[in-house]
Amino acid sequence: MTGNSPDFTVSLRAAGLRPTRQRVALARVLFEGGHRHVTAESLHAEVKATRMPVSLATVYNTLNQFRDAGLLREVVVAPGRSYFDTNTGHHHHFFVETDGELHDFPSDEVTIAGLPAPPEGTKLSRVDVIVRVRR
């Protein structure tokens, strides 16, 4: 290792994934710097700009594997397109409907009181709050 960047080789192996060139390149784009919200297409465009060739199929495969490994979370805000979120902690979203932007806000400032009990025979998985706004 020659730089000071996080060692994605380690976290990929820890997730049970071989640290291939493509996955390391994608991890760098995703996890270096602050939290991100990407689509497969936007991530593909970004990684191509680093001159590391990665196919769109691999971007899809990798996003799904990272999500399954808990490195990413999938956020559903608009029909027909998936967003992937590098922030896997508890938080909620502003969705700017007019331009498709997604912004985090912390869930610890928000209180949700009076939620009814889940339907018979089900257990809670997650509570998503999406605040839709427009410009």
Partner DNA sequence: CAAGAACCTTAGAATCGTTCTAAGTATTTG
Partner DNA sequence: CAAATACTTAGAACGATTCTAAGGTTCTTG
Q: Is 56 in the site for a second copy (CB under 8 A)?
A: no
Strands 73-78 and 37-38, by their bridges, are unpaired
| Nearer to DNA among residue 59 and residue 92 (C-beta) | 59
Q: Is 62 in the site for DNA (CB under 7 A)?
A: yes
Q: Is 50 in the site for DNA (CB under 7 A)?
A: no
The distance of closest approach from Cβ of residue 63 to a second copy in the complex, given in angstroms and rounded to an integer, is 12
Which residues sit opposite 96 in a β-bridge?
101, 133
Q: Is 87 in the site for Zn ion (CB under 5 A)?
A: yes
Residue count of the chain: 135
Q: Is 105 in the site for a second copy (CB under 8 A)?
A: yes
C-alpha 72/C-alpha 62 separation (Å) is 10
